[in-house]
Amino acid sequence: MVMGVTGSGKPRWGLAGCAAGWEFADADQFHPAAECGQDGAGIALTDADREPWLAALRDAIARWLAAGENVVLAFQR
């Protein structure tokens, strides 16, 4: 798992993992559509807003582990 602020180079680490045969996933891809609009409008997400996103991340991580997949997961939240 690669964490960092915007512009800190998370995709670079993801690309390095891809070169080694790992999958790259960006946590932003797991946000429900409603949150994307809210965040894009400059409205801060609450903890309750983040719950579905965190649940989706948890489920994806569990699937990757169960399948024995190698994944670099990058996120900034």
Quick: pLDDT tens for 5-47: 777 777 776 677 677 788 888 888 888 766 555 656 777 878 8
User: Quick check: 75 and 4 in contact, CB under 8 A?
Assistant: no
Residue range(s) defining the domain that contains residue 12: 2-75
Residue 44's CATH number? 3.40.50.300
In the predicted structure, residue 77 carries a pLDDT above the cut 70: no
- Interval 58-65 mean pLDDT: 96
User: Quick check: 53 and 33 in contact, CB under 8 A?
Assistant: no
Its pTM stands at 0.72
pLDDT band at 58 (very low <50, low <70, confident <90, very high): very high
Predicted pLDDT at 6? 74
For the chain, how many structural domains are there in total? 1
